[in-house]
Amino acid sequence: MTADAETLVRAKNLKVHFPIHAGIFRRQVGAVKAVDGLNFDIKRGETLGLVGESGCGKSTAGRAMLRLYELTDGQIDFEGVDIAGLSKNDLREMRPRMQMIFQDPQACLNPRMTVLDIITEPLVIHNIGTHNTRIELAKELMELVGLDARYLQRYPHSFSGGQRQRIGIARALALRPQLLICDEPVSALDVSIQAQILNFVSYDPNTVISSSPRCRIAGRG
């Protein structure tokens, strides 16, 4: 394999500026340069950590990589395709390969959906599997993140913070993404739960979830 085939993501001169509006006409008077010229490469199987003080642009960079924010400038090559220039439809097709685990498990789970619906929603959206295979996969994912598959019919409020974060992880893993972006996935959790969650997050998408879930995800090889 060439060096480029191993590169999963390459960010070039990534910029995200948020406009500042003021006055009665809400004219733009400036911009918050949240991310201003960021460059990095991530190889397949590699983990990249972004470190910096609060407000320095870490979350913005992560969201921009999935194009949850539009880029002001720059390029993000994902498997060689510049996602900054993709149309909505093309982007939608890319989405299953890139997923995000958010900081606050409370805010990112719909309280009116059962855990089963939460975990299988990405599969439904992307039209993957049948009703029954989705349920089977949801059960496997629950066990993978250390939750009892019998809880699939429950709602998020009946779980603790750490368990909710595991549900968010199960959902993010449902599509077996190539790229998993974790935005402070454990900062809202107790220290004792943090290590457990971080173990799940070291995950290898090239493994088949259904064959031997537990050891694959926790151990990486």
Please state the closest distance from residue 183 (CB atom) to Mg ion, in A. Answer: 6
Q: How far apart are the first and last CA of the chain?
A: 20
The reply to whether 60 sits near Mg ion by the rule CB under 5 A is no
Contact with ligand ADP (CB under 6 A): which of 3, 49, 54, 192? 54
Applying the rule CB under 6 A, the residues between 7 and 26 that interact with ligand ADP are: 18
The token duo for 221 is 């090889």
Integer Cα distance of 20 and 85 in angstroms: 24
Binder of residue 32, out of ligand ADP, Mg ion, none (CB less than 5 to 8 A by kind): ligand ADP
The token duo for 212 is 């031997």
The reply to whether 56 sits near ligand ADP by the rule CB under 6 A is yes
Beta bridge partners of 179: 98
Supply the DSSP string of 99-112, one letter for each residue: EEE-S-HHHHS-TT
Cα dihedral: 134, 135, 138, 142 (round 10): -170
Contact with ligand ADP (CB under 6 A): which of 37, 55, 80, 85? 55
Closest to 213 in 3D by CA, of 158, 161, 149: 149
Please state the closest distance from residue 56 (CB atom) to ligand ADP, in A. Answer: 4
The reply to whether 130 sits near ligand ADP by the rule CB under 6 A is no
Please work out the total of residues on this chain that contact Mg ion, with binding judged by CB under 5 A. Answer: 2
Closest to 154 in 3D by CA, of 162, 145, 163: 163
The reply to whether 59 sits near Mg ion by the rule CB under 5 A is yes
Contact with ligand ADP (CB under 6 A): which of 8, 9, 38, 58? 58
The reply to whether 34 sits near ligand ADP by the rule CB under 6 A is yes
Supply the DSSP string of 64-114, one letter for each residue: HHTTSS--SEEEEEETTEEGGG--HHHHHHHGGGEEEE-S-HHHHS-TTS-
Instruction: Find where tokens 């498997």 sit.
Output: 79
Contact with ligand ADP (CB under 6 A): which of 14, 57, 66, 173? 57
The token duo for 194 is 């943090």
The window from 58-66, 105-113, 115-123, 127-135 that contacts ligand ADP (CB under 6 A) reads: 58-66
The reply to whether 38 sits near ligand ADP by the rule CB under 6 A is no
The token duo for 184 is 């402070």
Q: Which is nearer to Mg ion, 61 or 137 (CB)?
A: 61
Residues that bind ligand ADP (CB under 6 A): 18, 32, 34, 52, 54-60
Residues that bind Mg ion (CB under 5 A): 58-59
